Structure 1
Amino acid sequence: MPHFEEFYADKLRGSLGVTDAEAVLDLRGANRATAEASLKDMLERSRFGKGKTVAIRLAPPPEGGGETLFQPTGRLLLDAKRRGLIERLQTLPAQDGLGFYVSLSGKPQRPAP
């Protein structure tokens, strides 16, 4: 972005990444079933604790192209966002590799009596 200082360009890109997250879920090298189980476990556990931010790292496509976990993971996370389990969902910045940055909603606060 030639018309912005790098600091402001990063803000526009939404550069929250691995170093900004409270936890990292590294799914590089995991197969689809293991990755889905790990994500579902993370989402289920988040319902009972305080909200936190997580960077989810995925393996890049193999040499010559091929399937990655990006699309199935994205669908699962988007569904969780629709159900209110995730407050913020975005891709990781390019320097962090393939993956997502999510802000988990955590346990809903009960209204004071």
Structure 2
Amino acid sequence: MPHFEDFYAAKLRGTLGVTDAESVLDLRSANRATAEASLKEMIERSRFAKGKTVAVRLAPPPEGGGETLFQPAGRLLLDAKRRGLVDRLHTLPAQDGLGFYVGLTGRAGRAQP
């Protein structure tokens, strides 16, 4: 088995984060409606552009617990993955906080009907 430096081994294991993404969508201060609209717009725009990677940052739960945007955002992104609009989807590593690393398929990556 070949030996990889830690940096490259981490990339193979899928621990890509904010610094690896081409752009960042920061939704840490957004409410649910705004966050969902922003994610839908990002996905819709990606249909007409080349594929790219985006780190979607979400706010941590409030002190004492409570609801976050993690589950609604995750469902929306997972649906886009099922439709072939998202190529890669996983959570951000712990040091980057709450959120997702998203690889948008883009126009060239999808099969044309």
* TM-score using structure 2 length: 0.87
- Give 1 or 2: higher helix fraction: 2
1:37-75 Cα offsets, whole Å, 9 max, x none, are 000000000000000000000000000000000000000
Report the CA distance between 1:35 and its aligned residue. 0.1
What is aligned with 1:85?
Answer: 85
What is aligned with 2:17?
Answer: 17
Report the CA distance between 1:108 and its aligned residue. 3.5
CA–CA distance in structure 2, aligned partners of residues 73 and 48 of structure 1: 22
Farther-moved stretch of structure 1 (34-43 vs 6-15) = 6-15
Report the CA distance between 1:11 and its aligned residue. 4.5
What is aligned with 2:35?
Answer: 35
- Identity over aligned residues, as a percent? 81
Question: What are the equivalent positions in structure 2 for 1:60-99 lying under 5 Å apart?
Answer: 60-99=60-99
1:5-56 Cα offsets, whole Å, 9 max, x none, are 9927734652100000000000001000000000000000000000000000
Q: Helix, strand or coil: the match of 1:38?
A: helix
What 5-or-longer segments of structure 2 have no aligned partner?
A: none
Q: Helix, strand or coil: the match of 1:64?
A: coil
CA–CA distance in structure 2, aligned partners of residues 103 and 39 of structure 1: 13
CA–CA distance in structure 1, aligned partners of residues 93 and 66 of structure 2: 21
Residues 51 and 108, structure 2, Cα contact 8 Å, conserved in 1: no
CA–CA distance in structure 2, aligned partners of residues 86 and 45 of structure 1: 12
* TM-score using structure 1 length: 0.87
Q: How many pairs align?
A: 107
